[in-house]
A and B are shown apart, each in its own frame.
Chain A
Amino acid sequence: MGAMTHESAEADVGSAEPTRWQLAAALFLRWRDGDTRAMDELVRLMTPLLWHVVRAYGLDRALAEDVVQTTWLTLVRRHESITEPQAVSGWLTMVARREAWRVGKLHRRADATETESLELHLPAHESAEDTAATDERSRRLWRAVGRLSERCQRLLRIVAFEERPDYARIAQDLAMPIGSIGPTRQRCLAKLRVLLEGDGEGGYSDGD
């Protein structure tokens, strides 16, 4: 007892490869049924996604960690209020986005130097090894994304990491009308493609 082994996250959720939200739901239900170790797996499954969703809000890395932690503690403390266990993945990202938005607002008010906008345009790592490790295609994409509006960058990052984005909530967070979020996403994607083509990338749509 006491060893926190990393069990397989496979769960009986059908023969097709389960999506992340299905895995999350299965783990959450197992935890609610008394399998306390299922929570470890849920945290391992969802923390990377929460990190990227929170960072999309322009929080610095330390604040982003705090928000991810708050999100998990909120789950443990308030899990009884989750009426749809199947939607636990969306519930977690909603809590993370709300908290990131709240913390981001406080932070911006306290810090008028707009470090956020600077940070969003700088890679987190700029050492030679890191740059070398990033392939040219990835760097081209990074440059193109960096030239999009902050709003587009944020929206695309959230959508990229969430499997089933809650458009109503994102719209509210980004202060966009709900009906516009689908078109906004398409507009952001279209701009990105134009920028990629302008940077010498022909077949923008091949993702291999």
Chain B
Amino acid sequence: METEDFAADAALFARMRAMWQDVDPMPADLVDRMVATVAVEDLTREYALLTLVEASDLSAVRSETDTATLQFSDGATSVLVHVTATEAGTRRIDGWVDATALAIRLSQGEREWSTDPGEHGRFAFDDVPAGVCRLRLVVRGTDGDMRDFQTPQFEV
């Protein structure tokens, strides 16, 4: 008797699960975005390293008119970074990655910043103190696979 009740309850709960999955499904890309967000947060992770392929005026950003440009790549994915000085003496970092970015994080020593990836792989960090930085990214390639990278350290 009790077992039957239990089975009947379980069946009704299963119907409710299916119903809610149907009427209120989670956003299609929520799982991928959560995987990416957690990945860039996890410092124990081993990231594939991008290499610096081009750099202009590295460490020469002193005034608001100076811009340094760096390009990182592993042959398949490229990340372009522009560094400008702000009025306050800090740095603004504008970046672009040629893949769909799911999560991006900038670290500088013990400090970390996250930013929401914008349209077409664009991202930006405002107000970063001058110093040695590193970017960690999770992107989705054209094949649909998710890949994670970090850049070598670079000075801003």
Contacts and interface: CB of A to CB of B under 8 A. Distances in A.
Contact of B34 (A68, A141, A142, A160): A68
A141 B35 CA distance: 33
A1 B46 contact: yes
Nearest to A54: B26
Nearest to A69: B37
Interface stretch (B6-14, B78-86, B119-127): B6-14
A189 to B, nearest CB: 6
Given A2-B149, A5-B145, A43 B20 contact: no
Contacts, number: 121
Interface of A is mostly: helix
B19 A141 contact: yes
Interface string B43-64: 0111110000000000000000
Size bracket, chain B contacts: 35 or more
B99 to A, nearest CB: 12
A112 interface: no
B132 interface: no
Interface of B is mostly: helix
Interface string A187-208: 0010011000000000011111
Contacts of A55: 20, 24
B35 A43 contact: yes
Size bracket, chain A contacts: 35 or more
A179 interface: no
Given A4-B146, A123-B24, A124-B25, A205 B11 contact: yes
Interface string B4-33: 000011111111111111111111001100
B104 interface: no
Contacts of B44: 34, 36
B13 A160 contact: yes
